[in-house]
A and B are shown apart, each in its own frame.
Chain A
Amino acid sequence: MSRRSRMALLPHGVLMLAALCFLGPFVWIALAGFKTQIALLTSQIVFHPTLRNFHDVLFSGTSDYLHQCLDSLIIASGSAVLDLAVATLAAFSLNRMRWPAWCTIAAIGWTAVFHMVPPITLASAWYAMFRPLGLDNSYVGMILAHATMNLPLTLWLMLAFIADIPTEILEAARIDGAQPAQVLWRIVVPLVRPGLGAAAVLAFIFSWNEFPVALTLTQRATATVPVGVASFAQDAEIQYPQMAATALLSILPATVLLLAARRLIVKGLTVGAVK
């Protein structure tokens, strides 16, 4: 019995150690964000917490952080909404409107290929295309770019969720004389709401996080949060506690979404990736 109970402790030990490794950095960075530069540089363990860093990052005249948050919010929501619309329409048409099977395979294959190549390859082409059109450094350009990058994930998710709807329901609606658009809007959309939720949350988070394309397609007027964090971190006269405060603020949206919608996110990540 004692051997069994000792064996049962092993997984707990492993998990606790792992949780420490994954959560430890957040605790440390949070503490750093409340320290003064001197307290951080001298590694004080007991210190007077200060809100100064957060205040400077958010409200000082030289900081663009709030503006970058707004840019990120516009681009992430815009691209997520565009993705949902495009992917749901396409998934419904591909899955339920008698396209030959190779069309679906081609759509999945092509999205898989450009999902897997480094984003910087597409970013350079977008830059060359957008610049003559005046779409570089614009919300429209960034929304199109991020929508394209997250389209594979949203398309695969919507295909999987729409494939799960029983045929009989849609057939009954059709026999009752509903147009395809009515079937989609009145029946399919309400039934795949969890799928839409998962796709929306993930598309939003991935757009919020995306760096290489934002780095190349934005300038000060449309710079997103990661671009801001990167330029902050490479500043020569770097204020370490402010950098910690910025990092802490920048992970808030994902953390809140994770706590609020963990099941949706798990489902989205596993369904979307296992394909």
Chain B
Amino acid sequence: MTTAPRAIGLPVGRLPRQTRRRSSGEHLWRWGMMLPILALLIGMTLLPLCALLILSFSNVTWQNARPILTSAGLANFAALLHDSLFLASIRNTLVFAAAAVSIEIVLGLVLALALGAVRRGKDFYTTAFMLPILLPGIVIGAIWALMYNPDFGIVDASLGALGLPAHDWLGNPGTALGAIVAVDVWHWTPFCFLLLYAAVESLPTDVFEAARIDGASAWQRCRYIALPLLAPTILVVLAFRAIIAFKVFDEVYLLTSGGPGTTTEVVSLTIYRRFFVEDHAGSGAAMSIVAFLVLGAVTLAAMRMIRKRQAR
């Protein structure tokens, strides 16, 4: 992160002035190489967004695989304000993201600092810790569905060994969201660990050596040297994880499908339900637009913040 312009891919390698005469052939190459990405971005992101915008102001019915639109004005958006499912999903997503991300950052930081402190086994540990990031979320859901099973799952079996009673973690409204947070912590702590570990590895060793000679304890070196130096990275990881947490879908879809009741309903699931299960495309599109605007704004704000920190 020390080379900020490089890291964000700004052109650093401009040619010197005397070779700057541009021939028309070069102009063609320059644009030609941009054509594929422009086609993909316009065709697959800009047009769909416009379609979504139109749908969100319409009532949609399907006829022979073609959508028939009638104007609905602002009705779809107005309905969202009283949509108890949508409101519940926003609340659950916020609770889920806050709980999961804070736990993951703390655990990721502990693991990164611990791995920074040992000499042997680094390769083994990074490989073991990375595996969950690369697995399909839906398969992680399937694995945990088996582990949470009240009849034979390892979760209740372990608790039983400690003398605790079996419990239907996913079927009980009080524990379902917590159980999903636990799965997410298992899935995404490795990601926080990986980014934080890269920062831990690049900490200056001489400062720690000096502090050790001056008699600072391991805890003091962590608290007063490592943490302040890691703070910018922690902030970046926090922003990234928080944004990704709002996309949660796979595990919830597989483990609870939003139940029991609406206790684990999340935003992505509600959009999916409206659009594809209840066949109410207008309402689903309105939700999508709201989600897009809110998360897009948050993303741009986070990017600004990160770039300001990098520039410092």
Contact = CB atoms under 8 A, between A and B. Distances in A.
Nearest 3 A-B pairs (CB), nearest first?
A159-B9, A125-B48, A121-B288
A125 B281 CA distance: 9
Contacts of B55: 125, 128
B95 to A, nearest CB: 17
A233 B45 contact: no
Looking at A40, A43, A232, which has the most chain B CB atoms within 10 Å of its CB? A43
Contacts of A7: 218
A104 B9 contact: yes
Contact of B34 (A41, A90, A148): A90
Interface residues of B, number: 112
11 contacts: A11-B113, A21-B186, A98-B15, A104-B8, A159-B9, A163-B6, A163-B11, A167-B15, A171-B19, A232-B142, A270-B198
A110 interface: yes
Interface of B: 1, 6-16, 19-20, 22, 25-26, 29-30, 33-34, 36-37, 40-41, 43-45, 47-49, 51-52, 55, 62, 65-67, 107, 110-111, 113-115, 117-118, 121, 123-139, 141-147, 149, 151-152, 154, 157, 186, 190-191, 194-195, 198, 218, 236, 240, 243-244, 246-247, 249-250, 253-254, 267-268, 271-272, 275-276, 281, 284-285, 288-289, 291-292, 295-296, 298-300, 303
A145 B12 contact: no
Interface of A: 7-8, 10-12, 14-15, 18-19, 21-26, 28-29, 32, 40-43, 85-87, 89-99, 101, 104-105, 107-114, 116-122, 124-129, 131-132, 134, 144-145, 147-148, 151, 155-156, 159-160, 162-167, 170-171, 174-175, 179-181, 184, 205, 208-212, 215-216, 225-226, 229-230, 232-234, 240, 243-244, 246-247, 250-251, 254-255, 257-259, 262, 265-266, 269-270, 273-275
A84 B4 CA distance: 24
A118 B198 contact: no
Which of A107, A116, A119 has the largest number of chain B CB atoms within 10 A? A116
A209 B8 contact: no
Given A87-B37, A120-B271, A233-B254, A275 B8 contact: yes
A93 B28 CA distance: 11
B37 A90 contact: yes
Given A32-B146, A104-B11, A151-B40, A262 B130 contact: yes
Contacts of A91: 9
Contact of B45 (A18, A114, A181, A184): A114
A163 B126 CA distance: 28
Contacts of A266: 126, 130, 194
A29 B146 contact: yes
Contacts, number: 343
A170 B13 contact: yes
B34 A116 contact: no
A180 B7 contact: no
Given A11-B118, A110-B41, A163-B11, 9 more contacts: A87-B37, A120-B288, A121-B288, A131-B66, A163-B10, A166-B13, A174-B19, A211-B138, A254-B135
B13 A129 contact: no
Contacts of B154: 24-25, 28
A243 B143 CA distance: 8
A22 B142 contact: no
Given A116-B299, A132-B66, A98 B14 contact: yes
A210 B147 CA distance: 22
A52 to B, nearest CB: 17
Contacts of B250: 211-212, 226
B277 to A, nearest CB: 11
A227 to B, nearest CB: 8
B253 A96 contact: no
B108 to A, nearest CB: 10
B240 A128 contact: no
Given A127-B275, A216-B272, A93 B34 contact: yes
A42 B151 CA distance: 8
B136 A156 contact: no
B136 A93 contact: no
B290 to A, nearest CB: 10
A111 to B, nearest CB: 8
A265 B29 contact: no
Contact of A163 (B12, B147, B149): B12
Contacts of B8: 104-105, 108, 159, 275
Choose among B51, B190, B289 the residue with the greatest number of A CB atoms under 10 Å from its CB: B51
A94 B9 contact: yes
Given A89-B33, A250-B139, A273-B240, A121 B13 contact: no
A144 B133 CA distance: 24
A258 B131 contact: yes
B218 A109 contact: no
A126 B19 CA distance: 45
